[in-house]
């Protein structure tokens, strides 16, 4: 297995899987240790019980074969030995005479397929035989030796193994459910937190907030993330506000608030492109304030600024459609874009309304008022030009034609 593959597998591991595996391992180790402890304790208790039982059997045999030893009746001793040993977990039983020679003996037949295993267990757990002296008239006349069988030990091991497997299966199921529930208590808040952070990072959704968690540490972490998101949200709002302000300053006239030349030329190009695609007409107004230099010289620049702001407000009041645009090109020059234009007469009516709006006096900052007239020239796309520069020039020419004819008038270039 290559190191790169191992790294990829590690990277794909989820926190939920890691926590569940950790919980499962801890639970299984605890169950195994508990089961092993119970098994060892049970084995010790069983060994003590078997030793006591073998001792009782040895004493019973010693009492039974006493007469056989006195009368040296080997057959009777053998029968008594077999009668008692056959019904008890005994592998080998011996009756020795006073000289230590075997007087009678019994050995369990190896008919069980697990006899070898039973004998091995017996030698391991019950290494020493149980002994009981045969006494007659307070004189020791023989000795009984009994070697235990591993039958009960093997049964205990089999039962323990079955119970252990069943217990492990039940414990594994319970541990899995508990570890899953415990993991979810941690994973779900972390997933919500990760989703919120991911949304903020990928989609700039700084308005999102992390829901409070039940776990104390995770709740504190969520509060810290929410505080950070609040700061980022304020920062984003500040940046957007500054960007909007800079964009407005870059595209609008600071005095009148109208679109500036850059903004107007961009919109004019867009309007001509759209009109070309849709086959519609565009009207361009070129507007100049009559005798504006004399107003500046006589009343001052502050009064001149007031006049320009009044002209801007009155022109904007005559252009109400969302797609139309009023702009200040510079100095006392203004421009109006009407798109789309349904009919030429519409441009004439708007120009006339603009001139009438200027009939009211304009209040000056230092007191007093004056009337300022406008000269308006109107050119049309596509009749007079098919590009922005050409259309601006034709509208400018039409404005000068209006000035030459009469100040405070408008001139519309003829269309076929």
- Cβ neighbours of residue 192 closer than 8 Å, sequence gap 6 or more: 210, 211, 213
The partner residues of 286 in beta bridges, in order of sequence, read 335, 377
**In the annotation, is 332 catalytic?**
yes
- Cα 297 to Cα 307: distance, rounded to the nearest angstrom: 13
| DSSP secondary structure, 186-214, as one string | HHHHHHHHHHHHHHHHHH--TT--PPP-S
- Cα 162 to Cα 168: distance, rounded to the nearest angstrom: 10
- Cα 116 to Cα 132: distance, rounded to the nearest angstrom: 27
Q: How many residues does the chain have?
A: 416
- Cβ neighbours of residue 248 closer than 8 Å, sequence gap 6 or more: none
Q: Would you call 407 helix, strand, or coil by DSSP?
A: coil
- Take residue 382 and report the two structure tokens written for it: 């596509």
Radius of gyration of the chain (CA): 55
CA distances from 181 to 29, 190, 194, 241 (A): 19, 14, 20, 46
The partner residues of 92 in beta bridges, in order of sequence, read 107, 147
Phi/psi at 286 (nearest 5 deg)? -110, 120
CA distances from 120 to 44, 45, 88, 91, 126 (A): 17, 19, 18, 11, 10
Query: Among residues 87, 332, 396, 397, which one is catalytic?
Result: 332
Residues taking part in catalysis? 332
């Amino acid at each position: 297995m290559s190191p790169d593959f191992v790294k990829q597998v590690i990277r794909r591991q989820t926190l939920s899987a890691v926590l569940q595996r950790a919980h499962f391992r801890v639970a299984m180790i605890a169950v195994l240790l508990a089961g092993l402890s119970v098994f060892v304790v049970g084995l010790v208790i069983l060994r003590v019980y078997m030793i006591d039982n073998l001792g009782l059997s040895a004493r019973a045999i010693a009492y039974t074969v006493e007469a056989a030893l006195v009368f040296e009746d080997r057959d009777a001793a053998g029968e008594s030995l077999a009668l008692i040993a056959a019904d008890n977990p005994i592998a080998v039983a011996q009756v020795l005479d006073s000289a230590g020679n075997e007087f009678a003996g019994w050995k369990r037949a190896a008919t069980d397929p697990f006899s070898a295993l039973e004998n091995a267990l017996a030698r391991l757990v019950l290494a020493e035989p149980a002994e009981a002296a045969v006494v007659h008239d307070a004189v020791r006349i023989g000795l009984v030796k009994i070697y235990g069988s591993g039958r009960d030990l093997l049964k205990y091991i089999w039962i323990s193994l079955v119970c252990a497997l069943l217990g492990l299966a039940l414990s594994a199921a319970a541990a899995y459910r508990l570890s899953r529930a415990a993991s979810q208590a941690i994973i779900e808040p972390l997933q919500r937190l990760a989703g919120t952070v991911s949304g903020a990072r990928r989609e700039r959704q700084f308005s999102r907030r992390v829901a409070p968690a039940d776990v104390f540490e995770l709740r504190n972490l969520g509060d810290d993330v929410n505080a950070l998101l609040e700061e980022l949200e304020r920062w984003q709002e500040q940046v957007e506000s500054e960007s909007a302000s800079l964009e407005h300053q870059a595209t609008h006239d600071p005095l009148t608030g109208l679109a500036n030349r850059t903004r107007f030329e961009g919109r004019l190009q867009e309007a001509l492109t759209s009109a070309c695609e849709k086959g519609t007409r565009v009207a361009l107004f070129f507007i100049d304030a009559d005798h504006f230099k004399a107003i500046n010289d006589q009343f001052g620049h502050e009064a001149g600024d007031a006049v320009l702001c009044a002209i801007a407000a009155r022109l904007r009041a005559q252009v109400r459609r969302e797609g139309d645009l009023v702009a200040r090109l510079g100095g006392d020059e203004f421009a109006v874009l009407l798109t789309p234009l349904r009919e030429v007469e519409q441009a004439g009516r708007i120009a006339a309304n603009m001139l009438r709006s200027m009939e009211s006096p304009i209040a000056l900052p230092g007191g007093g008022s004056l009337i300022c007239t406008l000269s308006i020239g109107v050119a049309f796309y596509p009749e007079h030009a098919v590009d922005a520069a050409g259309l601006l020039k034709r509208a400018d020419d039409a404005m000068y034609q209006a000035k030459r004819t009469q100040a405070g008038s408008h001139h519309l270039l003829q269309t076929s």
